[in-house]
Amino acid sequence: MALNGQIKALKGFAQYFRLYRNKVFVIKLGGAVLADLDVRNSAAQQCALLADMGIRVVIVHGGGPQTSELSRKLGAEPVIIGGRRVTDDAALDVVKMVIAGRINVDLVAALRRAGARPVGISGIDAGLILADRRPPVLMRENGAERTVDFGNVGDIREVHTEVLDHLLAGGYTPVISCLGATEDGSPLNINADILAETLAATLKAKKLVYMTDQPGVLRDLKDRSTLLPFADLADLKDLLESGAIAGGMKLKVEACLRAATNGVKRTHIIDGTAKDSLLVEVFTGEGCGTMIVGEREKQIYQEKELA
């Protein structure tokens, strides 16, 4: 890069440095991002760089593919309905072993190698996530309705962020596995996308980023060129109602929309397996995935683009 290009890049970096320093970013790492060693290390390096800039990074992770893999090895076929895992007692044991165990430890180790100061916890620790066991719900699938008991799955009732406040104030990076507990301490499986959304809203995060194995929101699932780079509810309403956005992506989009109406300025869905995608999305105007915002933030963003 020529000297003028380097100076221009430095000025651009300084702009983002001032904008984001001491702000909270909640980053959710999906199981597909964590499954590959090189991809996991790359994600860890990018998160560590954000922390080095003074951004208060909170990482939430799931581990669906890895949990399903171990369940099958143990002779139990996983049951997932509407993007949510049915979690009986045996499945909960697998979630605890895989997500709160192996995945959390491996991710903390990758972040440590990248120079961050990670602390691995679950939503159970210090009463971070108080949840209620989800009652049986009526769901529609393939045109038919049925009642589904999700078992040991929790819906978040309260969030107590004191432990996160202490960790962030000390310069640590919380790495949170998607478990919560009832009032009497019974563990429950919490959807990681919803956990990330709830924490982002509670912490008044500047950004909520979902790192997935998809490029973002596509108008046509078979055509990556139909990526929607920027959207609010009005842009997404028809896609949601038509079923073009479904399954796990629907959960993420709905979580982004809720977060954007609850104080999170900008939310993002990106391909976490692509090289440096987190940095590209955060530090370049064009980004690389889908940014979802509320109506007011959309107006502000468009006014800046026209200025």
From the list 53, 22, 177, the residue with the least C-alpha distance to 116 is: 53
pLDDT at residue 81 in the model: 82
Q: Which overall architecture, per CATH, does domain 20-306 show?
A: 3-Layer(aba) Sandwich (3.40)
With a pLDDT cut of 70, the percent of the chain lying above it is 93
Rounded distance, CA 156 to CA 60, Å? 15
pLDDT at residue 130 in the model: 98
pLDDT band at 303 (very low <50, low <70, confident <90, very high): low
Q: What's the DSSP call for residue 72?
A: H
Q: What's the DSSP call for residue 80?
A: E
Mean pLDDT confidence for 209-214: 96
User: Does residue 302 surpass a pLDDT of 80?
Assistant: no
* CA 151 to the chain's CA centroid: 23
Average pLDDT score, the chain: 91
Rounded distance, CA 106 to CA 85, Å? 23
Rounded distance, CA 291 to CA 216, Å? 9
| Lowest model confidence (mean pLDDT) among 22-31, 273-282, 289-298 | 289-298
pLDDT band at 305 (very low <50, low <70, confident <90, very high): low
pLDDT at residue 280 in the model: 94
Rounded distance, CA 168 to CA 298, Å? 29
Look up tokens 């955060």; give the residue: 282
Look up tokens 């919560």; give the residue: 180
Mean pLDDT confidence for 286-298: 86
Condensed to tens digits (0 to 9), the pLDDT of residues 81-130 reads: 877 789 999 999 999 999 999 999 999 999 999 999 999 999 999 999 99
Tokens at 105, concatenated = 């430890």
Rounded distance, CA 122 to CA 96, Å? 10
Contact indicator for 298, 232 with CB cutoff of 8 Å: yes
pLDDT at residue 164 in the model: 98
Which ranges in the chain belong to alpha helices (H)? 3-20, 31-35, 37-52, 64-73, 89-97, 104-113, 162-169, 192-202, 233-242, 247-260, 277-283, 295-306
pLDDT band at 307 (very low <50, low <70, confident <90, very high): very low
Neighbours of 83 (CB within 10 A): 15
User: Does residue 57 surpass a pLDDT of 90?
Assistant: yes
pLDDT at residue 112 in the model: 98
From the list 212, 231, 215, the residue with the least C-alpha distance to 223 is: 215
From the list 215, 214, 195, the residue with the least C-alpha distance to 205 is: 195
Rounded distance, CA 161 to CA 126, Å? 9
User: Does residue 69 surpass a pLDDT of 60?
Assistant: yes
- Which pairs count as long-range contacts for 89-94, CB under 8 Å and 24+ apart, including other chains? 89/151, 89/152, 91/67, 91/151, 91/152, 91/189, 92/151, 92/152, 92/187, 92/188, 92/189, 94/67, 94/70
**Positive/negative CA dihedral, 229, 232, 235, 241:** positive
pLDDT at residue 14 in the model: 76
